[in-house]
Chain A
Amino acid sequence: MNIMNLINALPGAVAQGLIWGIMAIGVYITFRILDIADLTVDGTLCTGGAVCIMLMQSGQNVWVAMAGALAAGMLAGMATGLLHTFMGIPAILAGILTQLGLYSVNLKIMGKANQAINVDKFDLMVSLRYIKGVPFYKNTILIVASVIVVLILILYWFFGTELGCSLRATGCNDRMARAQGINTDLNRVLGLMISNGLVAVSGALLGQYQGFADVNMGRGAIVIGLAAVIIGEAVFGRVFRNFGFRLLAVAFGSIIYYFVLQIVIWLGVDTDLLKLLSAAVVAVFLAIPTWKSRYFSRTAGKGGV
């Protein structure tokens, strides 16, 4: 166990953490704001990567490819949203259905199970080759960090608008929202579209970063997203109260997740067990609010002055 191996791996962990952080922010929007656990993201992540890489292979520039990925992700979110609202399917099941359907869609987009993109032949926005030894404006960590800051600023603005506020109200108390004249079905679809759009952008960046898109690249993405949300809240929850900073905390949570992952790998843990480990850690963190209220607090009275 050479400590230098770990230190050398850390910039990569930061870059990956940041890229997955964008996805985690998408998960935050559905999981925390809309109060829906949206499993679509496992499929959307690959959709984003696949669309981006195929568009670039066909000669489009990276910005068009990223916009295409965003649009494809939003379509996937809309599919889940309509399954949930228009067809009345429970949100979790709606997400699972879209995710399964996306597996075929992703295969058709790519034509096979994976597609590579060569960093030397294409002008990529990010790559694992752009971490060291490149001018700072090409540095992947810097670029992804800037993307995250811009996205957070946009989301911060959006959730402060009339529409954004009505979306928050929908997730918090949909009965109240409807009584205040808010179209809760439309808002759910909209929220799922925004979330999956972000996840697809994350997938597009991830595809460029690792140099390929693979039909299995999104497997378990929701768990990583939830882990980032939970870690971010646990570590920064008391410091960051402002909505924008909460989103930032989610991105930091994702970085921490990849840091820990690198350390675990460095310690020589069998990498086949990583997903099991992730699942167990997320399960425990999700259980904490329940355990807290069950074992550590007196039950508060209902109503009263």
Chain B
Amino acid sequence: MLEIRNISKTFNPGTVNEKRALRNVNLTLEDGDFVTVIGGNGAGKSTMLNAIAGVWPVDQGQILIDGKDVTKLPEYKRAAFLGRVFQDPMNGTAATMGIEENLALALRRGQSRTLRAGIRNQEREVYRRLLSTLGLGLEDRLTSKVGLLSGGQRQALTLLMATLKKPKLLLLDEHTAALDPKTAAKVLETTEMIVNRDRLTTLMITHNMKDAIIHGNRLIMMMDGNIILDIRGGEKKSLTVEDLLHKFEEVSGEEFTSDKAILG
């Protein structure tokens, strides 16, 4: 479904702020894979997701989605294949537009925008039904401005928007990190529900080791712009936090310094 071949990215090359964010990263996802991504700050997790989404061009390497080379496609064209949820709840929605208007924008992802009505009546029924699955009461507030919603509500809505038109790949960039624990758990639960329902191929970055272990069928850990661990199948199922810490020390050759960012 997704194939990353040997991609590298260096920010601010040739300056004192030079940062080699991705170093020859290779990754292949199978159809229906739900991969959790962990790693410390600056490990390259978000950079990898942004490279896939096409926020900026990569320095080298190729990115294939469903066998199609998208390396040269601009971000807005790649969006046809991707659903994205960001860390900051403010980033995923248009605050001054209504809930239904945001959903209508998302429904047309991958289509050219014409002079037909931006939202049609029969869509509203679909939106109402889908919003009710979130259990947040948003189905009765279709015309409310999204700016009036809480962070958790906005993240749940963004999740719905990202998956309204079934994406080939769902990219979740620490989408629960800015929420309080209770809301984060609820949004994760919704994520799990949608991913299972639509059998979505998913890449989910998280700061929380426990979440990374509980969710998905595969776990990768990144460090210094490399993928240093790739655990899947039965091994992933029986994984514990201690195992993970142990493996980390084995691979990196460093003692794990109880990095709060990783433990979460």
A residues contacting B by CB (< 8 A) are 158, 160-166, 168-169, 172-173, 175-184, 302-305
A184 to B113, CA, bound (A): 12
A160 to B74, CA, bound (A): 26
Which residue on B lies nearest to A184, using beta carbons?
A: B76
Interface contact B79-A160, CB-CB below 8 Å:
no
Classify the interface of chain B: helix, strand, loop or mixed. loop
Interface centre among A176, A178, A179, A183 (most CB of B within 10 A): A179
Classify the interface of chain A: helix, strand, loop or mixed. helix
Interface contact A305-B76, CB-CB below 8 Å:
no
Which single member of A164, A172, A181 contacts B80 (CB below 8 Å)?
A: A181
Query: Which parts of B132-189 form the interface with A (CB within 8 Å)?
Result: 150-153, 161-162, 178-180, 182-183
Interface contact B95-A172, CB-CB below 8 Å:
yes
**Using Cβ atoms and an 8 Å threshold, which residues of chain B touch A178?**
75-76, 79
Interface contact B76-A181, CB-CB below 8 Å:
yes
A175 to B115, CA, bound (A): 23
Could you list some 13 contacts between A and B, CB below 8 A?
A162-B115, A162-B116, A165-B101, A165-B104, A165-B118, A172-B97, A173-B94, A181-B77, A181-B109, A181-B111, A182-B76, A182-B113, A184-B76
**Using Cβ atoms and an 8 Å threshold, which residues of chain A touch B153?**
305
Which residue on B lies nearest to A157, using beta carbons?
A: B115
Task: Please give the distance in Å from A91's CB to the nearest CB on chain B.
Answer: 19
A203 to B84, CA, bound (A): 44
**Using Cβ atoms and an 8 Å threshold, which residues of chain A touch B89?**
303
- Is B106 on the interface with A (CB-CB < 8 A)? yes
Task: Please give the distance in Å from A154's CB to the nearest CB on chain B.
Answer: 11
**Using Cβ atoms and an 8 Å threshold, which residues of chain A touch B180?**
303-305
Interface contact A169-B115, CB-CB below 8 Å:
no
B residues contacting A by CB (< 8 A) are 53, 74-77, 79-80, 82, 84, 86, 89-97, 101, 104-106, 108-111, 113-119, 150-153, 161-162, 178-180, 182-183
A166 to B53, CA, bound (A): 19
**Given the contacts A172-B95, A179-B84, A303-B151, A161 and B76 also touching, CB distance less than 8 Å:** no
Which residue on B lies nearest to A166, using beta carbons?
A: B113
Interface contact A303-B150, CB-CB below 8 Å:
yes
Interface centre among A168, A176, A177 (most CB of B within 10 A): A176
Interface contact A173-B109, CB-CB below 8 Å:
no
Interface contact B109-A180, CB-CB below 8 Å:
yes
**Using Cβ atoms and an 8 Å threshold, which residues of chain A touch B53?**
179
Task: Please give the distance in Å from A257's CB to the nearest CB on chain B.
Answer: 25
Interface contact A166-B116, CB-CB below 8 Å:
no
**Using Cβ atoms and an 8 Å threshold, which residues of chain B touch A184?**
76
Interface contact A168-B96, CB-CB below 8 Å:
yes
**Given the contacts A161-B118, A165-B104, A305-B182, A177 and B94 also touching, CB distance less than 8 Å:** yes
Which residue on B lies nearest to A167, using beta carbons?
A: B113
A168 to B98, CA, bound (A): 11
Interface contact A182-B105, CB-CB below 8 Å:
yes
**Given the contacts A168-B96, A179-B92, A305-B150, A162 and B118 also touching, CB distance less than 8 Å:** yes
Interface contact B114-A163, CB-CB below 8 Å:
yes
Task: Please give the distance in Å from A180's CB to the nearest CB on chain B.
Answer: 5
Interface contact B117-A162, CB-CB below 8 Å:
yes
Interface contact B151-A302, CB-CB below 8 Å:
yes
Which residue on A lies nearest to B80, using beta carbons?
A: A181
Interface contact B108-A181, CB-CB below 8 Å:
yes
Which residue on B lies nearest to A186, using beta carbons?
A: B76
Interface contact A163-B91, CB-CB below 8 Å:
no
Task: Please give the distance in Å from A20's CB to the nearest CB on chain B.
Answer: 26
A183 to B80, CA, bound (A): 12
A166 to B105, CA, bound (A): 7
A43 to B258, CA, bound (A): 61
Task: Please give the distance in Å from B77's CB to the nearest CB on chain A.
Answer: 7
Task: Please give the distance in Å from A302's CB to the nearest CB on chain B.
Answer: 7
Which single member of A158, A183, A305 contacts B183 (CB below 8 Å)?
A: A305
Task: Please give the distance in Å from B81's CB to the nearest CB on chain A.
Answer: 9
Interface contact B105-A164, CB-CB below 8 Å:
no
